[in-house]
Structure 1
């Protein structure tokens, strides 16, 4: 088969290249405390889209830095309560999508929550206010400011806050909540389960936002990672601040959150993925200490992986 990265036996031993900030744990404990201190001011509005066996709601809450965050919420009408729930996260620049892929879980007796990432293709706010460039990407938003200003810090916290809201719903069993998503959504699934460790099952697909330095060294800072190359070309053309920049990115590198996960993990990887290289995905996977497994697609890249949606449903039925 074509080899765009390491052989699988090497991937399973790879530990990552990006620097880990010395105060990484304190950084995230401070962030979680900030999130927990917020009055979320939850608002539920019945959606225009409805089906006979479920109720569909537009859910709004206040996240860190005062942003109003949107999520779709579907709950089954006739399921026993409390029942299991899923939180879902979308790909980079997208949104929570149509209702149609969410109601299938309601038909199985799950409540289902799907986040719009702040400042991307949906309805959630980006309150902005950072120093430095904001050109072309959320990875580098806040990179020339205090680490607390990194935008993905706030997005990671939004995922955990939404999950806490889901767990607080009287119809949801907080001990039976799962998380899922692909690409950016896969990264957010890992970050969410790290910051809200009560998540019991998670199914990330080719997770993004991992091992940034490895991406750059492979000359794959393009497509979803293009902003890394753009940043250096415009703001540090001789890479004099290279170590500082990658260390700052280390605060939002999911590989360093992965060891906090307590739930069971099922990850899908395409070995021909040149958007999120397999080694960067395994940098996170190899740090997970909880029960875990992976599904490999040797000839597939950053695209639909046949059968994995069905595997995910079967996996989540174990909640």
Structure 2
């Protein structure tokens, strides 16, 4: 057995092991102590001014704890709590009340320390989330800026290079690393291309990545079902190296990349990222196996942001899928409410980030300003408990989209999805792609 085959078998075994963990997590709690926080409305959603009652339950070995103190905080997500303290559990539970008078999200968090270990739970009540509007401003020259940027980038030859990855190929799909010149001469974007082996014309999916630096493995299952898939990285580095390289970059050269050159709209890090997504579509359209029309873009978190951005930037995209998008309503913190990841204007970052030139630049990259121009059908999914990308921020973007929208709201989820949500995403994509 050669080394690459061993790695592939090991990766498959790990994947099956992780799947078993996810599956069993539905029936087996991850810890002997469970901190459960529940709002009193089944849909977790309230009218402004309406009081929400949160019930806190602490279970040990699935039995309620009594005569035990629990600490709590209540307040708008990501902001200073408006109420906090400790409560004595009676019959294993206690209640906390709170409300918002404006559209937004009210979060209750409970903590308890048992045998030196602190456990926490939370629930978030939505207050008229459909009425949340952006704080971010739309620059008058927003589309002039981006149309000019696209025109200049289109002048750069694509210079595409393919490297077959034989150990990743299957009986039904071929796998490649693809390298494409992007944005400026010498700049590259890399990804994993998966194509059906059978000759024909196929629809395509561009999958855009969440934040971070990592290798990529491609989306072979969709390729085996007759869909060309291109899974891209955003950092201009090959995506098939050992994980140690990416760990080093994450800790040093690319640490906090999301803040690089934020004071200059022409040099901000995400300019090459956004244009790279357009260049990836250029590449898909160059493939003789592509049907020349049916194209979807799909991603979560940073990728959820890039899905919306790419759909607005490039009319060749016909469908989009966005999970809990980042980079939405970045200026929320400057208006007394949660802003989107990467939280450049929150309390800890504001002293050195909330400068006029950085705030101005953020408007050219904020998802809400792209969302205003989305005109294709989209599938969206998220929950109210997201602590990475606050729901206040992504509702600010979602609410300005005028195109057909389908939202799979799973209230208790945070910055993660259930397997059932992923199944629905694939079913939606395949139906739109004619599969």
Structure 1 pair 96/31, CA: closer, same or farther in 2 (3 Å)?
farther
1:237-256 to structure 2, matched below 5 A, reads 241=355, 243-256=356-369
Q: Which residue of 1 aligns with 2:210?
A: 91
Structure with greater contact order relative to length (CA < 8 Å, sep ≥ 6): 1
Q: CA deviation at 1:137?
A: 2.0
Asked whether 1:277 is paired with 2:390, we answer: yes
Structure possessing the higher radius of gyration over alpha carbons? 2
Instruction: Give per-residue Cα distances to partners, 1:92-139, cap 9 Å, x unaligned.
Output: 01346324xx11001110010000111689479xxxxxxxxx984233
Q: CA deviation at 1:297?
A: 1.2
Q: Equivalents in 2 of 1:24, 1:194: separation in Å?
A: 12
Asked whether 1:257 is paired with 2:257, we answer: no
2:286 pairs, out of 151, 168, 175, with 168
Q: CA deviation at 1:228?
A: 4.3
Q: Which residue of 2 aligns with 1:129?
A: none
1:198 pairs, out of 303, 316, 320, with 316
**Number of aligned pairs?**
300
Q: Which residue of 2 aligns with 1:131?
A: none
Q: CA deviation at 1:194?
A: 1.1
Q: CA deviation at 1:197?
A: 1.8
* Native 8 Å contact 1:140 1:228 kept in 2: no
Q: Equivalents in 2 of 1:10, 1:253: separation in Å?
A: 23
Please give the secondary structure, in 2, of the residue aligned with 1:202: strand
Please give the secondary structure, in 1, of the residue aligned with 2:179: strand
Asked whether 1:114 is paired with 2:227, we answer: no
* Native 8 Å contact 2:205 2:230 kept in 1: yes
Q: Which residue of 1 aligns with 2:268?
A: 150
Consecutive unaligned residues of structure 1, counting only runs of 5 or more, are 125-133
Please give the secondary structure, in 2, of the residue aligned with 1:257: helix
Instruction: Give per-residue Cα distances to partners, 1:12-49, cap 9 Å, x unaligned.
Output: 12221123223211111111111211101011111142
Q: Equivalents in 1 of 2:393, 2:158: separation in Å?
A: 34
* Native 8 Å contact 1:96 1:114 kept in 2: no
1:103 pairs, out of 220, 226, 229, with 220
Q: TM-score, normalised by structure 1?
A: 0.85
Q: Which residue of 2 aligns with 1:130?
A: none
Q: Equivalents in 2 of 1:60, 1:120: separation in Å?
A: 9
* Native 8 Å contact 1:164 1:196 kept in 2: no
1:225 pairs, out of 342, 363, 367, with 342
* Native 8 Å contact 1:260 1:288 kept in 2: yes
1:289 pairs, out of 394, 397, 402, with 402
Please give the secondary structure, in 2, of the residue aligned with 1:197: coil
Q: Which of the pair is proportionally richer in helix?
A: 1
* RMSD (Å), alpha carbons: 2.6
Q: Equivalents in 2 of 1:96, 1:292: separation in Å?
A: 32
Q: Equivalents in 2 of 1:216, 1:182: separation in Å?
A: 25
Asked whether 1:16 is paired with 2:129, we answer: no
Q: Equivalents in 2 of 1:96, 1:276: separation in Å?
A: 23
Q: Which residue of 1 aligns with 2:100?
A: none
Instruction: Give per-residue Cα distances to partners, 1:175-209, cap 9 Å, x unaligned.
Output: 11111111011111111111112211111100001
Q: Equivalents in 1 of 2:379, 2:424: separation in Å?
A: 9
Consecutive unaligned residues of structure 2, counting only runs of 5 or more, are 1-37, 45-76, 78-103, 106-124, 242-252
Asked whether 1:301 is paired with 2:414, we answer: yes
